[in-house]
Chain A
């Protein structure tokens, strides 16, 4: 019996927008489909500053990785890494320290396939297809890669991801599971949407995303700070994106319209 089974549903649908590709579009990337762009335009109507927020978030990722590299971190776990786009973690980290190793984790088929293609020739980086909230599966998978030494500090990156984790998936518990798995001296870099800064726009964004494959859950400053339980927050703590260690010569940005809080903590 070789014929395909007609009742088997196809699992990949380009008609369904994906958060990863919307992010790529907002960053000016071309790795997206019509459905993604359509939803991204609705997102822009609700939050006209969305392109800037995407840029600031990506810039935070870069500064955070460099900060960790400076602190001697040579292995990174990028949770919810999404579509490879400009300034990927392995590129930034390896430019700062060529021996850096990176494991990307994402759940979305296309993002994972794309990452695989990009990383084909890089034996210091790889991608795992797992749901980052399924911490047992992720940690087991990471161990299997052989790239990460859990006795050494790890930079755990969850940048612009946790706002897709609903409360019932216990985001604090998810962070705690990663915290408990990594060695002291490891870091957590985290950013996520908040309604504290622009409540009205955030409400609009939540409404736009509610019916998508990636509904969003903004969190308060206190809730985001609580996710750093067991970590010492590095200066300046949990702040709007552009206020997190801006670089010399940086153009002044409007922190009140930055939409996302970000912070970096060091495991005690």
Chain B
């Protein structure tokens, strides 16, 4: 071949390469591809020139293209374009007779062989991938068979009764142990609803157990139930239910395992369990928990964290929906709490009633206290089967020093829980030694208060109520004092211990007696506790007090607790007091919209502002809040009601309130409270 012809063919091969390179991936470099195609160009050129003409040699070109994987959707089309043009215009072929006819025949042959090769190639590849699929399946089945065989071994030889049920609850398989346990025929169990094997009394709860597991709300469940033997005898069993899933995670079956615990030799074990566990929830009971707490406290290197929980408003559920539902809830709560600490070294116990405790031995992966509290809350807030969602208040003692004994730990956790509970629902607190100390004092005081009242240790003092402008005394406000506790603290303590009604009646009588004896006392201002304000017998009590002491009704002014009026329970009291000619006002009035509307509804002629209103104004520089309060006072006074201000503590505050033109004020700056015997008689 002449050198120009060689170069010419190389040009064709290059153009061909550039045309087909983007159409398919061929694992060669561009230069390698060009050489590969050049060989094919030679074959085609030779065939074009050969005499006699035959297309047969060109068939190999299609095969070679497919072999090298020039198999893209556009490869053939581009090949035909490049070659068609090149062959028709190649100088070395210009002398070939009937060139166009031959070129068409050659391209036709090339296309046919390409298509045939492609088909064969596709068949081969499909064959390969199907073989691969088969191999993969066989392998998976082999692995499965081994694990199946192992499972079968366990299934058949287990002393536990095992049943597999589909999601409708029908037995797909059951083992001999289960059949023996209930004295039934194994084959006869297949296709039966498993739940029918249990005591009818247990059925409802079992249904919800299976549903909870089936919906993935709990991983597995353990509880104690009764199977019924064919002869009607109950068989006590420990029941464990878990869920089987398909490869894609879709639930497919339940596995139920039962352990016969009614056999005589297991009775002792059962008793032990009962002694150490809460019968309802199966959790540890208090005694067992103390042991576990002691062990973990003594051995955990990362220290322990103790969570003491009480369900919020559990009594509402119990009273409203019945004890059966309440029991169900407690069981479910126990289950969820166990799930929360499933990954930890921990113990969960029911401490009694609606109280639970968890102790966690801290490891590097243990969640922080806030994270754990969050988990507990999340676990509880998902509604139960009956739609009830719960929350809990939690007291936490985190990593206590080694020296604490467990009783003290529990006490501290419980005290912290009480403190959390006082903050409302779904609250939590960590143990604080100082707060704890204060609360302990408070509680011991609360416990002592009834005795103190009986022994005359609680006193009534009288604080002058004065006109802030002129300074003249308008009357006295009765105030409680016990040791160093002032009125509000006494009241709070009494309210918390339920003593407040008795204390209030006593104080009213005491004060009325003092007022009768001392004209200098003027009008007795008496502020009722919340409980007293709602008391149905209030009017009766007041009237009797007036009768017995002889205090004229004109010298008594009763102040009802504003917030107790808001829920409507004490409204009648205001009306009836008024109807009996007793001047009635509201105390602890903070000026909110709801409270303002009370003024329209209730026949009150005066009010005492809430101490917090006074305090807030005292704490801030003169500004909007002051203007708003002054405006409110003016408005209330313009409606004919008088406004009294408590806790006026400095001359500046007294002056400010005088400017606002309140009707009366009291406070230590204006005049301190004094005992009755210091009043002029």
Contact of A5 among B125, B173, B247 (CB under 8 A): B173
Is A219 at the interface (CB under 8 A from chain B)? no
B contact patch SS: helix
With A8-B144, A86-B69, A110-B136 in contact, is A1–B164 under 8 Å at CB? no
B239-264 CB contacts (< 8 Å) to partner A: 244, 246-247, 252-253
1/0 contact string of A56-70 vs chain B (CB within 8 Å): 001100100000000
Residue of B nearest to A6 (CB): B172
Counting CB contacts under 8 A, is B627 at the interface?
no
Which A residues have a C-beta under 8 Å from some C-beta of B? Answer: 1, 4-14, 21, 27-33, 51-52, 54-55, 58-59, 62, 83, 86-87, 91-92, 109-114, 116-117, 247-251, 253
CB proximity to A under 8 Å, residues B147-192 = 148, 151-152, 156, 164, 166, 172-173
Contacts of B17 in A (CB 8 A): 249, 251
Q: Is A28 a contact of B132 with CB atoms below 8 Å?
A: no
Residue pair B136, A248 in contact (C-beta under 8 Å):
no
Q: Which of B18-26, B431-439, B480-488 forms contacts with chain A?
A: B18-26
Set B21, B121, B133, B246: member contacting A14, Cβ < 8 A: B133
The CA of A7 and the CA of B244, in the complex, are separated in Å by 9
List B contacts of A114 (CB < 8 A): 128-129, 132, 135
Q: Are B30 and A249 in contact (CB under 8 A)?
A: yes
A-B contact pairs, 25 of them (CB 8 A): A1-B152, A5-B148, A9-B252, A10-B247, A11-B140, A12-B133, A12-B136, A13-B247, A14-B133, A28-B25, A28-B72, A28-B73, A30-B123, A31-B132, A32-B129, A54-B25, A58-B27, A62-B27, A113-B132, A113-B135, A113-B136, A248-B29, A248-B30, A249-B31, A251-B30
CB nearest to B122 among chain A residues: A30
Residues of chain A within 8 A (CB-CB) of B31 are 247-249
Contacts of A83 in B (CB 8 A): 129
Main secondary structure of the interface of A (DSSP, over half): loop
Contacts of A8 in B (CB 8 A): 144, 148
Bound-complex Cα distance A110 to B139 (A): 10
- The 8 Å CB contact of B27, one of A4, A5, A87, A251, is A87
Closest 9 CB pairs of A and B: A87-B27, A30-B125, A114-B132, A249-B30, A113-B136, A109-B136, A113-B135, A9-B246, A55-B25
Docked complex Cα distance between A6 and B122 (Å):
36
A113 touches B133 (CB 8 A): yes
Q: Is the CB of B30 within 8 A of A250?
A: yes
CB pair B136–A4 under 8 Å, yes or no, is: no
A7-B172, A31-B128 in contact; A55/B24 too (CB < 8 A)?
yes
User: What residues of chain B lie closer than 8 Å to A30, measured between beta carbons?
Assistant: 121-126, 129
Kindly state whether residue B332 has any CB partner on chain A within 8 Å.
Answer: no
Give the residue name and chain of the B residue nearest to A14 (CB): B133
CB within 8 A of B69: which of A28, A117, A249, A250? A28
Q: Which residues of A contact B26 (CB under 8 A)?
A: 86-87
* Shortest distance between the CB of A58 and any CB in chain B (Å): 5
- Residue B131 lies at the interface, judged by CB distance under 8 Å to chain A: yes
CA–CA, A155 and B512, complex, Å: 99
Contact A11 to B247, CB < 8 A, known contacts A30-B126, A109-B136, A109-B140: yes
| B111 CB–A CB distance under 8 Å | no
Does B137 lie at the interface of the complex (its beta carbon under 8 Å from any beta carbon of A)? yes
With A12-B137, A250-B21, A253-B22 given, name 4 new contacts (CB 8 A). A7-B166, A109-B139, A249-B14, A249-B34
Are A117 and B135 within 8 A (Cβ)? Answer: yes
The contact string, 1 if C-beta is below 8 Å from chain A, for chain B 46-72, is 000000000000000000000001011
A28 touches B71 (CB 8 A): yes
Instruction: Determine whether the beta carbon of B30 is less than 8 Å from that of A117.
Output: no
Interface residues in B1-18 by Cβ distance below 8 A to A read 14, 17-18
- Among B21, B131, B151, the most chain A Cβ lie within 10 Å of the Cβ of B21
- In the complex, which residues of chain B have a beta carbon less than 8 angstroms from the beta carbon of A1? 152, 156
Q: When A30-B121, A31-B129, A113-B133 are in contact, do A251 and B18 touch as well, CB less than 8 Å? A: yes
Q: Is the CB of A9 within 8 A of B121?
A: no
A73 vs B126: C-alpha distance in the bound complex, in angstroms? 34
Do A29 and B30 touch (CB < 8 A)? Answer: no
- Are the C-beta atoms of B144 and A11 separated by less than 8 Å? yes
Residues in chain A near residue B72, CB distance under 8 A: 28, 51
